[in-house]
Amino acid sequence: MVSVKSDMLDCGRKDGKKPLHVREWTCPVCHAHHDRDVNAARNILAEGLRIRTLTPES
């Protein structure tokens, strides 16, 4: 299962959970722009690649 870490920004600041209607936001500290859908896609890709390394090739 993929763990969603929406409260940890690039600079390490914890910003807390956001309601689902908030699709994107900018960190007030480092000014990094975050997009919930892009972050979800990255998490899914990372998890798929992790699982792939655990599965022996046939």
Model confidence pLDDT, tens digit, residues 2-42:
444 554 557 878 878 889 999 999 988 889 898 999 989 99
How far, in Å, CA of 48 to CA of 56, rounded? 14
- The verdict on residue 29 lying in a domain is yes
- The verdict on residue 11 lying in a domain is no
- The verdict on residue 8 lying in a domain is no
Report residue 38 as tokens. 């892009």
- The verdict on residue 33 lying in a domain is yes
Q: Higher-confidence residue: 2 or 46?
A: 46
Number of compact structural domains in the chain: 1
Q: So what's the pLDDT on residue 4?
A: 47
- Beta carbons of 48 and 40 less than 8 angstroms apart: no
What is the CB-side half-sphere exposure of residue 25 using CA atoms within 13 A? 18
- The verdict on residue 38 lying in a domain is yes
Q: How confident is the model at residue 51 (pLDDT cuts 50, 70, 90)?
A: very high
Q: So what's the pLDDT on residue 3?
A: 47
- Amino acid at site 16: G
- The verdict on residue 9 lying in a domain is no
Q: So what's the pLDDT on residue 8?
A: 55
Over its C-alpha atoms, the chain yields an Rg (Å, rounded) of 14
